[in-house]
Structure 1
Amino acid sequence: MEIIRAKTAGFCMGVSLALQKLDKAIADARGRRICTLGPIIHNPQVLADYEALGVHCVDSPDGLHAGDLVVIRAHGITRDVEEALRACGAEVLDATCPRVKKAQLSIRNATAQGATLLLFGEADHPEVRGLLSYACGPAHVFGNREELAALAPDPAGVYVLASQTTQDRGEFEHLEAALRERLPQLVVLSTICDATRERQQEALAIAHTVDAMVVVGGRQSGNTRRLASLSAQCGKETFHIEQAGELRAEDFAGRRRVGLTAGASTPRKLIDATEAWLKALA
């Protein structure tokens, strides 16, 4: 059985930078308690490794104390939470992904005169909550075409269309085209990061050439779930796993080529272990 591994699988720039900042905080701790405000990335194995190193994950600024060093998660946080965080007496290290921070500031600037934000994303995702908080006017989040249609935007209104950074670029372009026909004062922000686009394109290219796809990454990771969804949309059986032990040999019986990719918060060791497991079946 041939394994086709995606070159883009694994940590993106934003995740790498966030973990580098957390590693430096641990090295420079000097007895201070090191905390993250929410999971720093969406990968349970990585989070378990940091917990073993003594890093505390707190849900709100209320769980912090003066003298703590707290790292803001890669997905970013809302403006009001950041204000509370900086007022609580802890030292703050911002590990928000630069692409997410750029999206936050772009939304703030584009809506400064009160334009309505239409945000394509997952309403309960921490990045989306953060992005919404930067809107200076009304803001609505939608996850698909039906939810967008239900918002019934007024053709006479001024709107800003943006997206969660890890959303499906192809779907976003369809939404943009449909809205431009109805909203003459629409402003469109390019907030989907290049790494997301490249991963999705490579996953689709591989999926078209294999008998099945394996996607490695946390189940809470939106970009990982979208890779699995895109692969499945090609009509190929897709296995979204967090680690190799979840796979079953019988699911790969008779398959000649299997594709392998991973989300942006998946460490290389988990991808390597999955590839080794698949190769052992040959």
Structure 2
Amino acid sequence: MDVILAETAGFCMGVDLALRRLDKLVKAADGRPIFILGPIIHNPQVLKRYAEKGVTIAEEPDEVPGGAYVVIRAHGITREVEAQLKARDVVIKDATCPRVKKAQLLIARHTAKGRELLLYGEADHPEVKGLVSYAEHGHFLFGAPEELDDYPLSPDKSYVLAAQTTQDRELFQAMAKKLQENDSVNVKVLQTICDATKLRQKEASELAEGVDYMVVVGGFNSGNTRRLAQVASDKGTPSQHVETVADLDLENLRQYGRIGVTAGASTPRILIDEVLEALEAL
């Protein structure tokens, strides 16, 4: 059996930066409590490790006691929540991914000119909630091209089209092109999808074409990991999305000659290595 690992599998720059900032804070806290406003990344194994170090997840600003450190997660937060934090007696450490922060500021700048935001993303994702909070003149959130097709765009209004940073770039570009070719729609397209996302999806697609089976490692609640699994299955290659090696049916995999492995941007290397070791042992 050949086991092939995608070159970019695992942590992206934003996740790595957020965790390094949190690690530094844990070492320097000197007894001061540390809270994260929501999970710092979407990986339960990573969150468990920080919980064992005394890091607490808070869902709302008022759950953070006075004098504590509060870390803003990699996905970012809404403008309203940020204002609530700044009004409290807490020490804020911002670990928002630079790509997400850039998307927030782009949306704020371009919607300030009177444009309505059209955002391609997952409604319940924390990054998306943060992004739409920067829209100055309303927003329409959609998760599929047909939803945008059905939305009544007015020739008397102007729009900004943007996307959650981990969405499928090819699909987004197709939607952007369709809007820009409509002479009755005044739309400004923002390129907010992260290059790391594009590269991971491209590699997953190419790898899936050359193997008999694909394994995608990462949190089940990780949007970018789920999309990698979808990219692989869209190629018609049998595949499985697992959080850890324990989720693999190793006996079933013995029948395949070439297995490809990739991982989401929030998946730690140790979990990837455990999957690789188990597959190579077959």
Alignment TM class, shorter chain as reference: over 0.9
1:57-98 alpha-carbon deviations (Å, 9 max, x no partner) = 000101011110010000000000000011111100000000
Q: Measure how far apart 1:265 and its partner are.
A: 0.3
2:94 corresponds in structure 1 to: 94
Deviation of the 1:148 alpha carbon = 1.1
SS state at 1:171 partner: helix
Gaps of 5+ in 1: none
Question: Which SS does the other structure have where 2:216 is aligned?
Answer: strand
Mapped to 2, the partners of 1:185 and 1:260 lie a distance apart of 42
Residue 179 (structure 2) aligns with = 179
Aligned to 2:7: 7
4+ residue runs over 3 A deviation = none
In the comparison of the two structures, how many residue pairs are matched? 281
Answer yes or no: is 1:125 the counterpart of 2:125. Answer: yes
- Counterpart-to-counterpart distance in 1, 2:173 and 2:11: 25
1: distance between equivalents of 2:38 and 2:165?
A: 19
Residues 208-227 of structure 1 aligned to structure 2 (within 5 Å)? 208-227=209-228
For 1:90 and 1:165, locate their aligned partners in 2 and report how far apart those are by CA, in whole Å: 29
Task: Give the superposition deviation at 1:55.
Answer: 0.3
Q: State the one-letter code of the partner of 1:72.
A: I
Q: Distance in 2 between matches of 1:220 and 1:152?
A: 32
**Within 5 A, what are the aligned runs for 1:5-154?**
5-154=5-154
Deviation at 1:253, TM superposition (A): 2.8
Mean Cα deviation higher: 180-189 or 128-137: 180-189
1:114–1:138 contact (8 Å) kept in structure 2 = no
The residue type equivalent to 1:9 in the other structure is A
1:120-176 deviations in whole A, cap 9, x for unaligned?
000110000000000111111100012112322123320100000000001001111
How far is the alpha carbon of 1:250 from its aligned partner? 3.0
Q: One-letter code of the match for 1:65?
A: P
The more displaced of 172-181 and 239-248 is 172-181
Q: Give the distance between the partners of 2:89 and 2:220, measured in 1 at CA.
A: 34
On the 8 A contact 1:108/1:134 being kept in 2, the answer is: yes
The one-letter code of the counterpart of 2:281 is A
Which AA in structure 2 matches 1:144?
Answer: A
Give the Cα–Cα distance (whole angstroms) in 2 for the partners of residues 249 and 92 of structure 1: 45
Q: In the alignment, which residue of structure 2 is the partner of 1:205?
A: 206
Counterpart Cα distance in 2 of 1:164 and 1:224: 14
Question: What secondary structure, in the 3-state scheme, does the structure 2 residue paired with 1:160 have?
Answer: strand
User: What's the offset of the Cα at 1:251?
Assistant: 2.4
Q: Deviations over 1:247-270 (max 9, x none)?
A: 012321321101000000000000
AA aligned opposite 2:177: A
State the TM-score, normalized to the length of structure 2: 0.98
Q: Deviations over 1:162-212 (max 9, x none)?
A: 000000001001111111122542100000011001100000010000001
- Partner amino acid for 1:21? R
Q: Deviations over 1:39-64 (max 9, x none)?
A: 00000000000000000000010101
* RMSD (Å), alpha carbons: 0.9
Q: Aligned ranges for residues 226-237 of structure 1 at < 5 Å?
A: 226-237=227-238
C-alpha distance in 2 between matches for 1:255 and 1:211: 6
What's the CA shift for 1:8?
0.2
Percent identity between the two aligned chains: 54
Q: Which runs of 5+ in 2 are unaligned?
A: none
CA contact (8 A) 2:153 2:185 kept: no
Please say which of residues 40-49 and 247-256 is displaced more in the overlay. Answer: 247-256
Once residues 86 and 252 of structure 2 are traced to their aligned partners in structure 1, the CA distance between those partners, rounded to angstroms, is 50
In 1: Cα distance, 2:157 partner to 2:235 partner: 38
Report if aligned partners of 2:43, 2:222 keep a CA contact under 8 Å in 1.
yes
